[in-house]
Amino acid sequence: MDFSFTKQQEMVRKVVSEFAKNEVEPGADDRDLTGEFPEDIVRKMAGLGMMGIPYPKEYGGAGGDYISYILAVEELSKVCASTGVILSAHTSLCCYPISKWGTEEQKKKYLVPLAKGEKLGAFGLTEPNAGTDAATQQTVATLEGDHYVLNGSKIFITNGGKADVYVIFAMTDKSKGNHGISAFIVEKDFKGFSIGKIEDKMGINASSTAELVFEDCIVPKENLLGDEGRGFAMAMETLDGGRVGIAAQALGIAEAALDETTKYAKERQQFGRPIGKFQGIKWYVADMATRVQEAKMLVYRAAWKKQVGKMKSTDAAYAKLCASETAMYVTTKAVQIFGGYGYIKDYPVERYMRDAKITEIYEGTSEVQKMVISGSLL
Amino acid sequence: MNIVVLIKQVPDTNEVRIDPKTKTLIRKGVPSIINPEDKNAVEQALTLKQKYGGEVNVVTMGPPQADVALREALAMGADKGFLITDRFFGGADTYATAKTLSTTIKTVFPDFDLVLCGRQAIDGDTAQVGPQTAEQLGVPQVTYAKEVEVSGNKLTVTREVEDGYEVIELTTPALLTVVKDANQPRYPSISGIFDAYEVDVKKITNDDLKLVREELGLKGSPTKVVATTTPDTQRKGEVFTGNPKECCGNLIDRLNQRHLI
């Protein structure tokens, strides 16, 4: 058993870490307050080939591996979880289904500019009445000659309003239940497609979360992604990959919170000594560090399995459940150890705690991960 | 323009601590990086290549693990990497290092136009290897280069000095040492990282250079380290009391005693 990273993976981590510290971290607190989407940063990431790490060069990617991509999400999320999820949603949820099920024409037209970062991607599955119960799709796609007509709406869509290309799921045959769901590639300028409400969130404020509205939206027939009726299975497989990305985001947040905590515990003096000298704090820190290590193992293992084509839904579920709950645990403890300073915005742990919460919710709540895991056992 | 960039892999001094007992650097577990101003030299070379064409060859001397530094420079956009590595090169001071580097340049890049180095390395802080290499190559040099313009075989170099700038003209072949204010080194691209490991880094040993052993490594180094010490951080300040004239007199006496003035 070999736990070491390749030289390439180590260099990717180093370069993304330097980029994150120099380019992403400086404005992260401000963007959290203003909700400004980091367009400049995404453009720079594109210039460095970060928007298509695991995709082949012939399709605009960096020709790298999945683990390197996961390391990039982790390193970005250490300084800015919003930037982490922008990359994760783009790479795992939009580029992936197009690379896996797209025709050659679709890949050339959409994957190439996406993986180059010339265009930003998003994924639309969730609806007001189709959250965890994703099969209850109410968005409808009707074939009319050479095009489909989409009607309905999607909510809570990461990169919504900022993305150029959306992978959208809609019911093409209601009588077939989830076997009647199909996937479509929708461009932001397609007639009948508009952006609805932009959500005001608890955390990951610099990422965009929006409602997508389809009113007689015309989607050319050639933009059907994969076979008609296969959409639900495609969405579930795509989300398995997405969950590894979110797990890496959660891991990055947890690591950042642990790092801030150890620094603070060494500096903060109470009762004449650094608080890190007190057993109560030592035990907290040991528990936090141990849970970070657990999350690392599961995230990297899932990424490796994805890389070698052996990943099962449970691998992604273990990683996401563990990493997101670790992020919540570690950030909550960090705020507690910082005391009053943890609750105000002068220190970043308050932001980490708000950012961590979403990782237990989106791309499958912790409870959904438990359904996946228990479903494989019982 | 045929450019050779000399880089050095150094321990990241932000992470280095001193062993209080042995007074030496604790290198264990300390990440290695490309010496920061050597990255400025790489950036300068890549900028010149973009403007005037040519080839950027990056050279480092060091143990086999210095390969990583070359790969990083390749990922930034350099064309080829060369690792000068041989156990006979170990323990070299700046003189022996410059000897090895200049011999490599003469042997492998006889038609070079420009050699670029960083101003100085953050581990040794000598700033000697660049100038010594220029001397041994017998080419003109400009240290502390901030800006470089090229016109045919003429270089116009703006050189940073303490109280301003000097503008110096010289002809190629030449050697410049580059300061950190010269530019902002680019990040290696992610695709560049994967490409960098697809190419071979050429290894150069003394079989290629054919230097006599006495000129190499520790043997070829006139510098002898007698002892290393760390400054005593426990020193206490001394407060002079009395009227200002007495205090100044005492201060001057004390500085004289210590041969500080």
pLDDT in tens, A165-211: 999 999 999 999 999 999 999 999 999 999 999 999 999 999 999 99
Name residues whose C-beta falls within 8 Å of residue A349's C-beta, 6 or more positions apart in sequence.
A257, A260, A261, A331, A334, A335, A338, A342
Compute the average pLDDT of residues A277-296: 98
Nearest Cα to A235, choosing from A324, A139, A170, A293?
A: A170
- Closest residue, chain A, to B191 (C-alpha): A62
Q: Is the pLDDT score of B230 beyond 80? A: no
B83 falls within a domain:
yes
pLDDT in tens, B12-66: 877 677 777 766 667 777 889 999 999 999 999 999 999 999 999 999 999 999 9
Taking contacts as CB-CB distances below 8 angstroms, the residues of chain A near B195 are 63
One of 2.40.10.170, 3.40.50.10490, 2.40.110.10, 3.40.50.300 is the CATH number of A122-229, namely 2.40.110.10
Domain A7-120: homologous superfamily in CATH: Acyl-CoA dehydrogenase/oxidase, N-terminal domain (1.10.540.10)
Contact in structure between A111 and A182 (CB atoms under 8 Å): no
Q: How many CB pairs below 8 Å do chains A and B form together?
A: 51
In chain A, the percentage of residues whose pLDDT exceeds 70 is 100
**Looking at residue B168, what DSSP letter applies?**
E
Tokens 């210590």 belong to: B258
| Confidence at residue A194, expressed as pLDDT on a 0 to 100 scale | 98
CATH number at residue B162: 3.40.50.620
pLDDT in tens, A8-28: 999 999 999 999 999 999 999
Compute the average pLDDT of residues A141-152: 97
- Closest residue, chain A, to B70 (C-alpha): A11
pLDDT in tens, B170-198: 999 999 999 999 999 999 999 999 999 99
How do the domains of chain A map onto residue ranges? Answer: 7-120, 122-229, 233-377
Say if A12 is an interface residue toward chain B (CB within 8 Å).
Answer: yes
Say if A63 is an interface residue toward chain B (CB within 8 Å).
Answer: yes
Q: Is the pLDDT score of A297 beyond 80? A: yes
CA dihedral (B238, B243, B244, B246) positive or negative = negative
CA distance B77 to A43: 19
- Closest residue, chain A, to B187 (C-alpha): A15
Per the CB < 8 Å rule, is B194 touching A18?
no
B177 falls within a domain:
yes
- B148: distance to nearest CA of chain A, Å? 26
Out of B71, B72, B194, closest to residue A63 by CB: B194
Q: Is the pLDDT score of B216 beyond 90? A: no
B82 falls within a domain:
yes
pTM of the full structure = 0.91
- Catalytic one of A75, A255, A260, A363: A363
| Confidence at residue B258, expressed as pLDDT on a 0 to 100 scale | 86
Is A233-377 in CATH node 3.40.50.150?
A: no
In the three-class reduction of DSSP (H, G, I as helix; E, B as strand; rest coil), residue B59 is classed as strand
Per the CB < 8 Å rule, is B197 touching A7?
yes
Mean pLDDT is lowest, of A159-163, A251-255, A305-309, B13-17, for B13-17
pLDDT in tens, B104-117: 999 999 999 999 99
Per the CB < 8 Å rule, is A11 touching B71?
yes
| Confidence at residue B25, expressed as pLDDT on a 0 to 100 scale | 66
Per the CB < 8 Å rule, is A11 touching B192?
no
Please indicate whether residue A10 is annotated as part of the active site.
Answer: no
| Confidence at residue B24, expressed as pLDDT on a 0 to 100 scale | 64
B226 falls within a domain:
no
A145: phi > 0 → left, psi -120 to 50 → alpha, else beta; which? left
- Closest residue, chain A, to B31 (C-alpha): A14
Range of the domain at B163: 2-215
CA distance A325 to B86: 51
CA distance B87 to A90: 49
Cα–Cα distance list, A214 to A184, A222, A229, A242, A247 (Å): 12, 18, 20, 24, 31
| Confidence at residue B236, expressed as pLDDT on a 0 to 100 scale | 77
- B52: distance to nearest CA of chain A, Å? 23
Q: What is the mean pLDDT of chain B?
A: 92
- Checking DSSP bridges between strand A193-198 and strand B25-26, what pairing results, if any? unpaired
Q: What is the mean pLDDT of chain A?
A: 97
Token digits of residue A280: 């109560």
CA dihedral (A69, A75, A77, A82) positive or negative = negative
Structural domain count of chain B: 1
